[in-house]
Structure 1
Amino acid sequence: MKKGMTLIETSLYLALFGMAFLMIVQFGLSMREYQKLALVRTEIQKSLVILNQEFLNSVSMSDSIDNISEFNTESGDLILNESSGNVTYRVENFRLVKQDSTSQIYLTPADMVISQFIFTDIRSDDGDILGIQINITLSYAKNNNVSESLSSTYAVYQ
């Protein structure tokens, strides 16, 4: 009686091993891609938290919101009146920019794009601007399928 493996048995075992190996490699690559997307989504959420805090601080420290701000438009200008001068927020090259009398600062990283920046004024019965509602959608520049939105309301304290 022979105690060896035939060519057919060897080929079958190699094919099964190859299929199992390919499935493991495919699973590893898929998990790596999901992990990368999760990290990108986390970075977008961190940026939105920072933007939320920036707007909260700026609006609460401002004296008023300028009437020449472009409300209810995609990528409009938000102008806040402060004792030290005006502060303007706008979208430039798909990035959010804060400009005051001395400097211009990009508030979003270069690898993220602003796909929506809409703010709506909240007015009193007298027509005074009491606050604003801001809607921002931030996307990853290399993959527009990864995006997060922020909708928040800020009050001007006078």
Structure 2
Amino acid sequence: MTQQQTTDEPHAPEPQLSLCFSSTRRGARLARRLAVEQFTEWTGLAPDSGTAHAVALVTAELASNAITHGRLPGRDFRLTLLLLPQAIRIEVTDTRPERPVRRPGALSASSDAMSGRGLLLVTAYAERWGSESRDAYTKTVWAEVPVPPGTPRG
């Protein structure tokens, strides 16, 4: 079956992209840039739009957490993007399922700490977010950034 929609199909599959990146700062930076580029290609929104900035920020935070807290030497993290009817879903999968994600209220970052607030930003920019372990070897943290109504898709 090709990726093109046929007239017999009632609904086309959601646009999706999934790639692996090295668990390094460079890998996280590339994931952020790719997420914005793919989002703007799917929607036609400008890369400097508010929604594209939100996609960049959420992707950067999730990728940063994956390389900081979910990294095993020699293992990559996976970025998956799905364009949903009213949001873009950003998923970052790492190789440390035994390290659960703590909700922002459970974090104990002091007011002068240099880190520890990333998930607060994700909470502010994402409509909803969460995490799940789909198997014994990985953990996926996901967030859905709302897309303005009437935005072209695909």
> TM-score, normalization: structure 1?
0.34
Higher strand share: 1
Which structure's relative contact order is higher, taking Cα pairs within 8 Å and 6+ residues apart? 2
Q: Which has the larger radius of gyration?
A: 1
